[in-house]
């Protein structure tokens, strides 16, 4: 199928959806989908048996995106569609006919957060109108690895603009380009961010796997609010080259999926050293290309897990689910040790200063990577653009961009001091210390509370969160669905030392398989 015909196909589909009567749209079962909740291994078996082709699956997902994201509930989770998707799918089908498979990601439908570069017809915008016509000069390392693995990149997902580090009182999931992403469980609830579109698209069965990015909470919180699995890897396990940055110290990309097995399969395709990202050099001898060996049914047996009680006591309904999880873990042979604090001294201040310094440096380097035709040349130009735009500052300011612009370079004493404090407090005096003292395999905590109502005036309303210890240390974190509060999902997080993905996968898989709290959203309208 040619590029023009896929555009025409999507246009016809969209027009068809728009002409459907309101009554028909309201009564249609939005989860009447041939591939609903199917896992990657199910698709691989179907391809092998000839039950369906990659092209047929691609077309089905594109139709669902149009029907649900652009029409119907209008989730606003997809910023851009890949007009090459059908051609890619047909080429991958041809490879299978010739007896060639690229591995477990062959024919897997993937969406990328729109701060991840692709060198194709899609733009990479960070949700900002300043970059609405920006075309990167090459694929990000993540996109390159996915293509090599045989994935079909369906499109780009909406996000909290500039990965939610632009200004005060922001609403997660809002961008100047697409507006507000909706939570598929109850449509006026917030999807959390900044990987909002990735979390929503996975939960709504608009793809098999999505890639999010996290500096602090931006993979695990959307996974929590949208009832899915998220893996935030150790910083350096997955290359950040070609990803619009916030923090060189804390940024990472990671997979988001409906099941841990799907996320783990995808994780293996993303790892590897990249000379363009020196952090990945630290992963040599530690990174694996296949983590599925740690999906063990008895992965909980004999584990010692610290229950971080800091987030407990803020929401009794969340607490109830946490202690139900604790009871289950104990029943499977886990020893639980309560810990009331992780770091001896605050990590928040140093982390914020590190982020501001690295943001300025990282953004200016990213804009330079776009070449002489870049729509924005530096951070100063971005700030000026936003001031002149009619939409960008409509709901909230750009205080963090302005604060970053005021910072000195990365050789400054202020930056180096903040970085030293952050690393010492979060690692050797933080997670490493606590785990050594109590001989822990992992630490657990509630990922978050139930999704709050989206509020473009007052911004986000967080009540519970536990992402900071792992995020600030650059250590891995996995969130798994823990249950529901009324119709809204919440998750539980397992985090630990650097490069401890294998043991975290064992624990998370044992919990997931024994509880199976995931259920698809019903796209409920607010009462």
The residues that are catalytic are: 113, 194, 218
The span from the CA of 61 to the CA of 155, in Å, is: 11
Backbone φ and ψ for 337, nearest 5 degrees, come out as -120, 120
Q: Is 325 exposed, middle or buried (0-12, 13-18, 19+ CB in 10 A)?
A: buried
Per the CB < 8 A criterion, the answer to whether 140 and 116 are in contact is: yes
Three-state secondary-structure class, residue 465: strand
Considering only CA atoms, give the Rg of the chain. 22
Could you tell me the CA-to-CA distances from 240 to 155, 192, 233 in Å, in that order? Answer: 19, 22, 12
Three-state secondary-structure class, residue 519: coil
The span from the CA of 180 to the CA of 89, in Å, is: 30
**Tokens read off for 179:** 């507006």
Q: How many CB atoms lie within 10 A of CB 288?
A: 17
The span from the CA of 401 to the CA of 370, in Å, is: 19
The span from the CA of 373 to the CA of 424, in Å, is: 41
Q: What 3 state SS string does 214-242 have?
A: ECCCCCHHHHHHCCCEEEECCCCCECCCC
Three-state secondary-structure class, residue 107: coil
The span from the CA of 401 to the CA of 385, in Å, is: 12
Q: How many CB atoms lie within 10 A of CB 132?
A: 13
**Tokens read off for 240:** 């950040």
């Amino acid at each position: 199928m040619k590029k023009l015909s896929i555009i025409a196909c999507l246009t016809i589909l969209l027009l068809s959806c728009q002409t459907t009567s309101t009554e028909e749209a309201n009564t249609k079962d939005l989860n009447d989908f041939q591939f609903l909740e199917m896992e990657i291994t199910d698709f691989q078996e179907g391809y092998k048996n000839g039950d369906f082709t990659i092209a047929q699956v691609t077309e089905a997902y594109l139709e669902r995106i149009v029907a649900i994201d652009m029409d119907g509930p209008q989730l606003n989770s997809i910023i851009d569609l890949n007009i090459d998707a059908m051609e890619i799918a047909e080429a991958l089908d041809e490879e299978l006919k010739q007896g060639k498979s690229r591995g477990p990601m062959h024919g897997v439908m993937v969406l990328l957060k729109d701060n991840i570069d692709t060198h194709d017809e899609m733009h990479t915008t960070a949700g900002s109108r300043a970059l609405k016509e920006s075309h990167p000069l090459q694929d990000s390392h993540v996109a390159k690895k996915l293509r090599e693995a045989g994935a079909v990149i369906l499109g780009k997902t909406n996000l909290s603009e500039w990965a939610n580090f632009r200004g005060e009182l922001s609403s997660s999931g809002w961008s100047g380009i697409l507006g507000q992403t909706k939570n598929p469980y109850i449509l006026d609830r917030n999807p959390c961010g900044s990987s909002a579109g990735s979390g929503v698209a996975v939960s709504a069965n608009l793809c098999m796997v999505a890639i999010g990015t996290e500096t602090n909470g931006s993979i695990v919180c959307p996974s929590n609010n949208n009832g899915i699995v998220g893996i935030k890897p150790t910083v350096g396990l997955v290359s950040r080259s070609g990803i619009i940055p916030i923090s060189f110290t804390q940024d990472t990309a990671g997979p988001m999926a409906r099941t841990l097995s799907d996320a783990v399969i995808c994780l293996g395709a993303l790892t590897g050293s990249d000379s363009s990202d020196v952090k990945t050099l630290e992963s040599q001898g530690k990174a694996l290309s296949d983590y599925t060996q740690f999906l063990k049914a008895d992965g909980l047996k004999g584990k010692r897990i610290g229950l971080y009680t800091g987030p407990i006591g803020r929401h009794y309904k969340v607490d109830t689910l946490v202690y139900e999880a604790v009871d289950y873990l104990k029943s499977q042979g886990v020893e639980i040790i309560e810990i009331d604090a992780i770091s001896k001294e605050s990590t928040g201040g140093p982390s914020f200063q590190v982020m501001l310094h690295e943001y300025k440096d990282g953004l200016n380097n990213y804009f330079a990577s776009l070449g002489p035709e870049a729509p924005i040349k530096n951070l100063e130009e971005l700030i000026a653009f936003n001031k002149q735009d009619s939409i960008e500052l409509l709901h909230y300011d750009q205080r963090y961009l302005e604060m970053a612009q005021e910072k000195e370079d990365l050789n400054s004493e202020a930056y180096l001091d903040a970085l030293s404090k952050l690393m010492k407090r979060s690692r050797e005096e933080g997670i490493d210390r606590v785990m050594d003292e109590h001989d822990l395999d992992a630490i657990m905590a509630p990922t978050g509370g139930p999704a709050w109502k989206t509020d473009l005036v007052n911004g986000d309303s967080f009540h519970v969160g536990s992402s900071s210890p792992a995020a600030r240390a650059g250590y891995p974190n996995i969130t798994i669905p823990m249950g529901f509060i009324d119709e809204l999902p919440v998750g539980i997080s397992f985090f630990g030392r650097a490069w401890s993905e294998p043991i975290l996968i064992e624990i998370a898989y044992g919990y997931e398989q024994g509880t199976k709290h995931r259920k698809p959203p019903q796209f409920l309208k607010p009462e």
